Amino acid sequence: MYIVGLDLGQAQDYTALAIIEVSDDDEPTMHLRHLHRYPLGTAYPQIVAGVDALMAREELGADAELVVDATGVGAAVVDMLYAAGLYFTPVIITGGDVVHREGSAYRVPKRDLVAAVQTLLQTQRLRFAAGMPLVDVLTTELVNFRYKITDAGNDTYGGREGTHDDLVLAVALACWKANSTGPLLRFA
């Protein structure tokens, strides 16, 4: 089974897409099969058309799932994906402590997304080929990704100043979905 994570960016941030293949073992392994980063400034209708074409590819199979960052600008793009007839799980990334459903979307703490990737890497259940395009960029993003507790006691996540975390979040969305039991939703 394939899961596609889509992290939506804006003018300053890339839109990134990650495809993982989930093994059907008792303790599934996630194989990162594809990474894509849209050029800065790519129009959202073009991204929607690209995702629509990707999800229709036979190689992914009929049971492929799409997980979309619906935070901020993502809400408008989610509407466009819905209008294109795509089925997906919208995820609003929060700074909270608990995953919960809000309408047809899930509100997921960023810590849960990060933990999904971190746990899979530490247990060697997230694998990717060294020669895959953008894997070096992903590796750099992972190295630069930081966890910080503020003076107010809140946790914050992100890359070092001036770095991106779009590929990390695209992978994290797919890994979170692979480890969650939530159903595939249609945004309405």
Enclosing domain of residue 157: 2-179
- Show the low-confidence residues of the chain (pLDDT under 70): 145-164, 181-188
Give the 3-state secondary structure of residue 180: coil
Instruction: Classify residue 185: in a domain, yes or no.
Output: no
Nearest alpha-carbon partner for 71 in 108, 20, 97, 114? 108
pLDDT tens profile 71-89: 877 778 899 999 999 999 9
Tens digit of each residue's pLDDT (9 = 90 or more) over 88-99: 999 998 887 889
Please count the structural domains in the chain. 1
Residue 187 forms part of a structural domain: no
Task: Report the alpha-carbon distance of residue 67 to residue 180 in Å, rounded.
Answer: 12
Q: How far apart are CA 92 and CA 54, in angstroms?
A: 23
